[in-house]
Amino acid sequence: MQKLQKSQAQKRRELRAPERGLVLVHTGDGKGKSSSAFGVIARALGWGHKVGVVQFIKGKWKTGEKRFFDRFADEIDWHVMGEGFTWDTQDREKDIAAAEAALAKSAELISSNAYNLVVLDEINIAMRYDYLKTAAVIEALDLRNDTSVILTGRNAKPELIDYADTVTEMTEVKHAFHAGIRAHQGVDF
């Protein structure tokens, strides 16, 4: 028993408190990247934390998570900044301008010290299509103090993966969409 206690004490000494907020990346081709981030939002709200969300791509599409989190208007600031899914738009310059405005809003939230958590939903997609430069995103992340930031979306850039503290890759095994089944309200959106 004494050996176990000594080992546990050593492990506690090795683990250090974060010097500032964490950066988490949820990426991969599987379902659940944004859903996982929304779960972390629920956890943060459970602790009385202030949360900011910036949605880069989804546009004005109505989602269950937005409808749910609207109930927490005093604890969460939600900014829908995208122009819609990339296959719905045909104006690259407009998409770039929307992504840049969303990144500016993100940097404002991250640097304000008013939020414990900021979620940048689908930012990896904006980066994938080169609407945003990776260096500009990392520059915005460098503005954080105690604010943790989650970045979601497929195809996270290698530089972002290297920069992040935690990276989770969702892997698709099977998806109903490939069998011709449309997205289900309450499950997919």
What CATH number does the domain containing 57 carry? 3.40.50.300
What CA–CA distances, in Å, run from 39 to 14, 69, 77, 126?
29, 11, 16, 22
Q: Could you tell me the pLDDT band of residue 120, with boundaries at 50, 70 and 90?
A: very high
The fraction of the chain above a pLDDT of 90, given in percent, is 68
Q: Could you tell me the pLDDT band of residue 63, with boundaries at 50, 70 and 90?
A: confident
Instruction: Tell me the two tokens of residue 35.
Output: 């859903």
Residue 147 lies in a domain: yes
Residue 100 lies in a domain: yes
Task: Count other C-beta atoms under 10 Å from residue 127's C-beta.
Answer: 24
Please give the residue that has the higher pLDDT: either 156 or 175: 156
- Domain total of the chain: 1
Mean pLDDT of the chain: 89
Residue 115 lies in a domain: yes
Residue 74 lies in a domain: yes
Residue 7 lies in a domain: no
- C-alpha dihedral over 71, 72, 78, 80, to 10 degrees? -10
Q: Print the domain residue range for 100.
A: 18-179
- The number of CA neighbours under 13 Å toward the Cβ of 142 is 8
Residue 3 lies in a domain: no
> What local confidence, expressed as pLDDT, does residue 11 receive?
67
**Residue 119 and residue 109 in contact, taking contact as beta carbons nearer than 8 Å:** no
Q: Which residues contact 75 (CB under 8 A, 6 or more apart)?
A: 45, 48, 49, 50, 51
